[in-house]
Amino acid sequence: AAGVIQSPRHLIKEKRETATLKCYPIPRHDTVYWYQQGPGQDPQFLISFYEKMQSDKGSIPDRFSAQQFSDYHSELNMSSLELGDSALYFCASSLAGTSGGTYNEQFFGPGTRLTVL
Amino acid sequence: GQNIDQPTEMTATEGAIVQINCTYQTSGFNGLFWYQQHAGEAPTFLSYNVLDGLEEKGRFSSFLSRSKGYSYLLLKELQMKDSASYLCAVSGNYGQNFVFGPGTRLSVLP
């Protein structure tokens, strides 16, 4: 079965540079979430999109922005990178659904490991 | 505010049973999820509870008490490959993001 695809898998940048991470959700999933996971930490929610509109916002720095495109893929844009931005960035997707008995299980992509030097 | 708590580390022996607890305080509740995460890999879904009681799924079971803000994940017949972090995550409202607990790092010893 198709899974969430993220690219690139690894990215090395220098301080003050910019980076763009891409996420391709599972086909027919309408919700995309971005998480940041630092070493030894739990995933921290950054931002989510439902049907191409921002649906929720977490601890996303102002230097970061994201959007979801018409084909449902999403991009996380990171500018003025800092050393502390080095982390695993996960994208997850789910199908929102509307009726009882369904639940919004999130399927996680393999992550992008960002290293800022 | 939202607060989720789990033990940081646990150790168990191959073939044994281990229970990982999770307590939560969240504004809104639409279910509690357990995920397994091996180091450097993506979290993978294990179980979901939205009503009180026990959900069983093979070697894994998960329990929820909404009135107590408490859940546990029960792993039976432990195998070496079960060594991983186990993340408790709460969904505040339908379709919203998860709030993850700090994770419990389980080590299974021979």
- pLDDT tens, residue by residue, A71-82: 999 999 999 999
CA distance A38 to A83: 11
Q: Kindly list the distances between the CA atom of residue A12 and the CA atoms of A20, A112, A115, B42, in Å, as whole numbers in the listed order.
A: 12, 10, 5, 20
- Cβ contact (<8 Å) for B42 and A56? no
- Cβ contact (<8 Å) for B99 and A45? yes
Chain A nearest CA to B80, separation (Å): 21
The backbone region for A101, taken as left when phi is positive above 0, alpha when psi lies in -120 to 50, beta otherwise, is left
Nearest to B95 among A88, A96, A113 (CB): A96
**Coil/strand/helix, residue B92:** coil
pLDDT at A105: 81
Is the minimum CB–CB distance between A30 and chain B shorter than 8 Å?
A: no
- pLDDT tens, residue by residue, A12-42: 999 999 999 999 999 988 889 999 999 888 8
pLDDT at A101: 44
Which residue has tokens 């980076």? Answer: A19
pLDDT at B98: 79
Is the minimum CB–CB distance between A115 and chain B shorter than 8 Å?
A: no
Contact list, B33 vs chain A (CB under 8 Å): 105-106
**Coil/strand/helix, residue B35:** strand
Is the minimum CB–CB distance between A108 and chain B shorter than 8 Å?
A: yes
Q: Quick one: closest CA in A to B5, which residue?
A: A42
- Cβ contact (<8 Å) for B40 and A48? no
- Cβ contact (<8 Å) for B48 and A103? yes
Average pLDDT of chain B?
91
DSSP chain A: ----EEE-SEEEE-TT--EEEEEEPPTT--EEEEEEE-TTS--EEEEEEETTEEEEE-S--TTEEEEE-TTS-EEEEE-S--GGG-EEEEEEEE----STT---PPEE---EEEEE-
- Cβ contact (<8 Å) for B42 and A45? no
Report chain A's C-alpha Rg in angstroms. 14
- pLDDT tens, residue by residue, B58-99: 999 999 999 999 999 999 999 999 999 999 999 876 556 778
